[in-house]
Amino acid sequence: MKLKPLDEKKVQSLLDEYKNEPVYIHVEVTNGVYASHNNDEVFNAGTFLRNIPITYTEGTLKGGNNFEHRVGLKLDNGGWVYVTGLSHYTVNENDEFILHGIDHSGKLAAALEISRKEFKK
């Protein structure tokens, strides 16, 4: 299945599908390693977390009016995962539930991915 513009109903039901069981997540926010090479004004911040095992008991999609969508996952230990800037989604052939934020120039800006199996190393 190809990456598609985020469908609120479908994404919410997918968040419900992966809840209350052990899953792995990939989380990412980036403005690109070349950001400050191309523009001195840019402060280059970013993160990625890969193959982090969690269990979440609440998973909610919000936003989407004048803002990009955001997702909050409340974890079984009381912790949180929060990602904003999401615009697209898909579930691939490995049952990996993928949420991406694609910026105005078509580049990946944010990602939250949830899978029952580990992501590729």
Point out which residues bind another protein (CB under 8 A).
2-3, 26, 28, 30, 32-34, 37, 48, 50, 88, 90, 92, 94, 96, 98, 100, 102, 106-109, 111, 113, 119-121
Kindly state the tokens that stand for 120.
Answer: 């590729």
CB of 57 vs another protein, minimal distance in Å: 25
Q: Least distance to another protein from the beta carbon of 3, Å?
A: 5
Separation of CA 42 from chain center: 23
- Output the smallest distance, CB 119 to another protein, in A: 7
The residue (of 77 and 105) whose beta carbon lies closer to another protein is: 105
Residue number, 48 or 82, with CB nearest to another protein: 48
CA distance 117 to 5: 25
Whichever of 2 and 77 has its CB closer to another protein, that residue is 2
First to last CA, the chain: 22
| Tally of CA atoms within 13 A in the half-sphere of 78 that contains its CB | 0
CA 77 to chain CA centroid, Å, is: 20
